[in-house]
């Protein structure tokens, strides 16, 4: 996380937010929390963080905090989160989760904010899919899920337009408490893991598990859980990745070092595009190609750029390595293309 310094967390006095703040206190970042304590708790607010009792709807005050403290990254968790309450009070849910997100994003525009992480939910997926990933069918059933999906769309549009790196995490059920023993799940009476813990310490001898006609060995449903501390660390990793990627891609920089052949940038529509180094010797070769061949090469380079975005962390490839690979294979790519198109 070398590239981040001042991080703002909305909902930092809540269950997940307090765990992310705790994880962040082990880094060198300054931490700023915005929370209106509607479902959060004063006792969950970490003493090492700066706290603002504020509603995310208040664009003006948030913007002031961002500008005064040179916030570079926002982790947005503040939301109304109960599925049941969402069905009862849809207007409140849309206002808090969708308008709240838009107002927060508006406060980030044209500021020091470079990175934005959003807590979304698996509740946006269509029911009945066994395994889900980014490409699975989306069709939220609940009002809560619908508000989160709308917020996702706003984040994508506004962040792309304003050149803010963003990441959206769709969590499943979160459970557990920090090993520090200082924070944990408070206030959520009906959480299965909370009930199990209470039962272990004999505060609540009977636990009810609902559902008996699912296609499982005991008829109860399968549930997915993630430990809250793992989730907190994932946020730190994601933040590190999106902030460092920006350095690798040199977003919007029109200056290319002289030994690089190309660089990937984003245009105003948020699409990836290539900027060629016209001084590079390969540029003269590229220039001799037919329009169709040029397009082919551009597509290959861009697709490498996109896959790098996903795999960069494991593979440790950077733009300059890829250029080498591509340049070495340049002749083969073209030869094959010419053969296929004869």
Shortest distance in whole angstroms from residue 99 CB to ligand NAD: 9
Q: Which listed residue (144, 171, 214, 225) is catalytic?
A: 144
Shortest distance in whole angstroms from residue 335 CB to ligand NAD: 50
User: In sequence order, what are the residues at sequence separation of 6 or more whose Cβ sits closer than 8 angstroms to the Cβ of residue 69?
Assistant: 6, 8, 30, 32, 50
- CB nearer to ligand NAD: give 10 or 243: 10
- CB nearer to ligand NAD: give 101 or 265: 101
Answer whether 101's CB lies under 8 Å from 162's CB: no
| Alpha-carbon separation of residue 197 from 15, 43, 159, 191 (angstroms) | 16, 20, 41, 10
- CB nearer to ligand NAD: give 124 or 164: 124
Residue 312 and residue 249: Cα distance in Å, rounded?
12
Shortest distance in whole angstroms from residue 38 CB to ligand NAD: 4
- CB nearer to ligand NAD: give 14 or 140: 14
Q: What residues line the site for ligand NAD (CB under 6 A)?
A: 10-11, 13-17, 34-40, 55-57, 77-81, 96, 100, 119, 121, 171, 173-174
For residue 144, indicate whether it is catalytic. Answer: yes
Q: What is the DSSP string of 264-297?
A: EEE-TTS-EEEEE-TTSHHHHHHHTS-HHHHHHH
Residue 33 and residue 16: Cα distance in Å, rounded?
13
Shortest distance in whole angstroms from residue 13 CB to ligand NAD: 4
Answer whether 329's CB lies under 8 Å from 304's CB: no
List the catalytic residues: 144
């Amino acid at each position: 996380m070398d590239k981040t310094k001042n991080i703002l967390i909305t909902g930092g006095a809540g269950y997940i937010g307090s765990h992310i703040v705790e994880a962040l206190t082990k880094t060198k970042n300054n931490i700023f929390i915005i929370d209106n304590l509607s479902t959060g708790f004063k006792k969950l607010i970490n003493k090492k963080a700066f706290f603002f009792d504020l509603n995310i709807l208040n664009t003006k005050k948030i913007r002031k905090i961002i500008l005064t403290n040179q916030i570079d990254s926002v982790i947005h968790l503040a939301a109304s989160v109960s599925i049941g309450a969402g069905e009862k009070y849809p207007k409140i849910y849309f206002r808090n989760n969708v308008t709240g997100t838009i107002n927060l994003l508006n406060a980030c525009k044209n500021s020091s904010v470079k990175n934005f992480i959003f807590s979304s939910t698996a509740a946006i997926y269509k029911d009945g899919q066994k395994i889900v990933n980014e490409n699975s069918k989306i069709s939220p059933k609940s009002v809560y899920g619908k508000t989160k999906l709308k917020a996702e769309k706003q984040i994508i549009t506004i962040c792309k337009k304003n050149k803010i790196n963003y990441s959206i995490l769709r969590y499943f059920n979160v459970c557990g408490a920090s090993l520090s023993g200082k924070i944990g799940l408070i206030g959520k009476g009906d959480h299965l893991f909370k009930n199990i813990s209470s039962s272990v310490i004999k505060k609540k001898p009977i636990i009810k598990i609902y559902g008996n006609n699912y296609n499982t060995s005991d008829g109860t449903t399968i549930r997915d859980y993630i430990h809250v501390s793992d989730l907190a660390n994932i946020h730190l990793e994601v933040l590190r990745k999106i902030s460092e990627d920006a350095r690798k891609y040199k977003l919007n920089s029109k200056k290319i070092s002289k030994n690089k052949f190309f660089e990937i940038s984003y245009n105003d529509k948020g699409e990836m595009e290539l900027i060629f180094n016209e001084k590079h010797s390969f540029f003269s070769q590229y220039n001799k190609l037919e329009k169709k061949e040029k397009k082919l090469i551009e597509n290959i380079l861009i697709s490498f750029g996109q896959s790098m975005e996903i795999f960069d962390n494991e593979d440790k490839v950077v733009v300059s390595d890829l250029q080498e690979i591509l340049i070495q294979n340049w002749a083969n790519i073209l030869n094959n293309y010419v053969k296929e198109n004869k």
